[in-house]
Amino acid sequence: MKRSLIVLMTFLSLRGFPQSFSLQIAQRAESIQSKLVEWRRYIHQHPELGNREFKTAEFIAQHLKALGIEVKTGVAKTGVVGILKGTKPGPVIDLRSDMDALPIKERVDLPFKSTVTAEYMGQTVPVMHACGHDSHIAMLLGTAEVLSAMKKDLRGTVKFIFQPAEEGPPGDEEGGAPLMVKEGVMDDPKVDVIFGLHIESKIEIGKIEYKPGAFMASSDWFIIKVKGKGSHGASPWAGIDPIVVSAQIVNGLQQIVSRQMELTKAPVIITVGKINGGVRSNIIPEECEMLGTIRTLDSKMQQEVWEKIKMTATKIAEASGATAEVKIDTKTLVTYNDTALVRMMIPSLAKAANGNISQRDWVTGAEDFSYYGTKAPAFFFYLGGMPKGTDPAKAPDHHTADFYIDDSMLNVGVKAFCNLVFDYAAMSMSNGAKEKDKKKKGF
């Protein structure tokens, strides 16, 4: 029923727009599929960590320049921005890809498996594209190739954003989307709309999934330092055990989720990912530290969770005679898809995926693409990369050593981006003409 509705919407929404562009896009995108695979596998074999994507940026810039696209490098440290101006007036449309890899050792035995190591936070670590950013780069490079070949029919301006450090910059460095925005990537020329996609290892290859409104969670990171009183492990009554207090706080944080938040409104997740305290088995230490993350999909609930975490930690510590210091930092905002924009562009995605699209529930993963949405209407969606016939429950997850995607249909991502560009430009110009006509008639 839902799929039939999408097909009907596609027909009704695009009756007035030329279909030749869609057919041309499909032909051009399919013709470069082998290039997409070649690029993706080369980048996969040569991964680089956030804010250190020097060779990746050089590879991207060279390709864009060869297409005759204006190129800016060194944006937000290692970012690359390509600007393609069409021959006809129209909107400014941003398309975004991320570039960075992760400090993970690849376990999948592939001919293009990564064996790269790099320095991260003072340690030598293995490096792997364990989240699909290599495929994002390939698809956006392919989009640039198709659109530059169709420049004579292109309305407005397209900006290709290749962003570093989506996974977060190292240490205290600035980076990622916040720094891109800070350095003006959404200005000069001012952006009217931005689109982004993410390959997904648990969605079947070639399928597109989307959600209007709040789509991906905000990501806040917290540090809780519990200070007690040290003593001998054989006489705990002589001290105040910060490890025991920390254990009580961990339980208390989960009660915030299960008993204090209205989960029918939106999901909330509080995860303690690291606990550090003590030096040996028979010494009760003076301090214990917890690090964790908070995921929310509603800004009001986000603030409520912050306050409840602070109160829970400090009061539990106080009840045992200890103290707790709580620090919370925002890493990403809620990735919010402009509802009107999503409705308008669903047919474009349906064309790209031959109708193989569906609406999904929200995601508790986070994306710094969210920062672009504070400057212009944004639409972020998922593209499947799971081999056909695979059980999603058994497909390796992102950010793991076994992460794997089937790259044989990357052209669907290229088709999606190109259809979004042509259709949005056509509809925005059509809407603008209607508004001018209304003004002329005195409405």
Write out pLDDT tens, residues 270-309: 999 999 999 999 999 999 999 999 999 999 999 999 999 9
CA 107 to chain centroid: 24
DSSP symbol at 364: S
Which candidate, 1, 3, 119, 2, places its Cα nearest to that of 353?
3
- The chain-wide mean pLDDT, for the chain, equals 94
Which amino acid is it at 50?
G
Q: In what order do the strands lie in the sheet with 79-85?
A: 70-75, 79-85, 155-163, 88-98, 193-204, 378-386, 208-210, 357-359
What is the structure's pLDDT at 2?
47
d(C-alpha 231, C-alpha 246), whole Å: 16
Count of CA atoms in the C-beta half-sphere (13 A) of 148: 19
The Cα–Cα gap between 256 and 283 comes to 31
User: pLDDT at position 20, please?
Assistant: 72
The total number of residues written for the chain in this structure: 443
Least confident of 3-12, 237-246, 348-357: 3-12
CA atoms within 13 A on the CB side of 374: 14
Phi-psi map region of 313: left, alpha, beta (phi>0 left; psi -120 to 50 alpha): alpha
Query: What pTM did the predictor assign?
Result: 0.91
Where does the pLDDT of residue 428 fall: very low under 50, low under 70, confident under 90, or very high at 90 and above? Answer: confident
- Check: CB of residue 51 under 8 Å from CB of residue 78: yes
Closest CA to 376 of 219, 154, 169, 177: 177
